Amino acid sequence: MCTLINAERLSCMKPTAFLINSARGDIVDKAALEAGIIAGAGLDVFEREPAVTAALTAMKNVCLLPHFGSATVETRIAMGMTVVENLPAFFEGREPSNRVA
């Protein structure tokens, strides 16, 4: 598996650095974090959400957040408006612009 943030990339950071990931959980190599190459990490997303692995919860240098990355007024309004905009398409039998399943 090729991850975006792996041991090689972490080694380019200062040993005192902290990685903040609010993008996607699977882009960070957890084993590389466990290796202690950098000081730690703040993770807002996890590889198999909503499940969090025991390895992540055991890491003393990792702060786990409950997916707050989208918790802004602007983003939540936009999310709600997307639902409102998709309703007519759904009820008219058209494909919604942001289909989830």
Phi, psi of 25 (to 5 degrees): -65, -35
Domains and CATH numbers, the chain: 1-67 (3.40.50.720), 70-101 (no CATH)
Q: 3-class SS at 64?
A: strand
pLDDT digits (tens, 9 = 90+) for 9-42: 999 999 999 999 988 888 999 999 999 999 999 9
pLDDT digits (tens, 9 = 90+) for 46-75: 888 888 889 889 999 999 988 888 888 999
Is residue 32 within 8 A of residue 38, CB to CB? The reply is: no
User: Residue 24 catalytic?
Assistant: yes
Task: Note if the pTM is more than 0.75.
Answer: no
Q: Which of 9, 34, 47, 67 is catalytic?
A: 67
Phi, psi of 62 (to 5 degrees): -125, 130
Q: Which of 8, 24, 85, 94 is catalytic?
A: 24
Give the gyration radius of the chain's Cα atoms: 18
User: Residue 67 catalytic?
Assistant: yes
Q: Which of 47, 48, 49, 74 is catalytic?
A: 49
Per the structure block, which two tokens stand in for 74? Answer: 């602007």
